[in-house]
């Protein structure tokens, strides 16, 4: 039996708030209209998991039209508290914000989450993904989530080590992490990491991810 496990990490489509570079954590924002045209249906994964925020669920409906994702609130983006929906220009005069920029892993946004709270929550969500897959012996899944969540998971499980901010999480491609079953169940780093482009099909025909 093939003992390979594949989990793909996809970021939601570009939103209107992303376009204006606003902090978008638990506050939601609609996908840009062109994003609804430039993603494709995939049937490459046996189970779909998603953040329960609207921008991820909307992306999941476009990418995986025939699947209902399991919603996990633990896969939400970091909660930016009072900074939600605001831009750098709106916040640059705030001394706490400047302290957070200088030490984002140590300073907590007002009424938001610290990085340690965020990482513990994401760890809990990942454990649920692993448990659900193991229960029914599923070997492939996709996770629809957010830039910060994907960066954190890559720092934990990617086959090679990079700092949190060195990982790029664009809206037009994702990552597939590949393990041997035993290593995956032990929480080890994956053995192979590969990029997965999301390619539009101008003819409206079914495509699958590469």
- pTM, two decimals, is 0.89
Long-range contacts of 87-94 (CB under 8 A, 24+ apart): 87/20, 87/21, 87/22, 87/23, 88/21
Please, are residues 7 and 176 in contact by the beta-carbon 8 Å criterion? yes
Mind spelling out the 3-state secondary structure of 79-107?
A: CCHHHCCCCHHHHCCCHHHHHHHHCCCCC
- What pLDDT is attached to residue 207? 31
- pLDDT, one tens digit for every residue, the chain (210 residues): 479 999 999 999 999 889 889 999 999 888 887 655 545 455 679 999 999 999 999 999 988 888 899 999 999 999 999 999 999 999 999 999 999 999 999 999 999 999 999 999 999 999 999 999 999 999 999 999 999 999 999 999 999 999 999 999 998 889 999 999 999 999 999 999 999 987 543 332 233 332
Q: Give the per-residue pLDDT at 200.
A: 42
The topology under which CATH files domain 4-197 is Rossmann fold (3.40.50)
pLDDT at 30: 87
């Amino acid at each position: 039996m093939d003992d390979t496990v594949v989990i793909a990490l996809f970021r939601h489509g570009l939103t209107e708030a992303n376009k204006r570079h606003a902090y978008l954590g638990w506050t939601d924002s609609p996908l840009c209209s062109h994003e609804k045209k430039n993603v494709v249906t995939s049937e490459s994964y046996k189970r779909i998991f998603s953040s329960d925020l609207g921008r991820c669920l909307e992306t999941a409906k476009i990418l995986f039209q025939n699947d209902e994702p399991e919603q996990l609130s633990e896969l939400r983006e970091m909660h930016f508290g009072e900074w939600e929906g605001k831009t750098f220009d709106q916040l640059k005069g705030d001394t706490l914000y400047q302290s957070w920029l200088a030490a984002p892993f140590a300073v907590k946004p007002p009424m938001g989450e610290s990085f340690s709270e965020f990482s513990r929550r994401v760890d809990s969500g990942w454990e649920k993904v692993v448990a659900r897959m193991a229960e029914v012996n599923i070997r492939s899944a996709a996770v629809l989530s957010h830039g910060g969540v994907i960066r954190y998971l890559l720092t934990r499980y990617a086959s090679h080590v990079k700092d949190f901010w060195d990982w790029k999480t664009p809206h037009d491609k994702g990552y597939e992490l590949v393990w041997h079953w035993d290593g995956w169940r032990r929480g080890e780093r994956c053995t192979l990491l590969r990029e997965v482009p999301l390619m539009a099909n101008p003819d409206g025909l079914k495509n699958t991810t590469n």
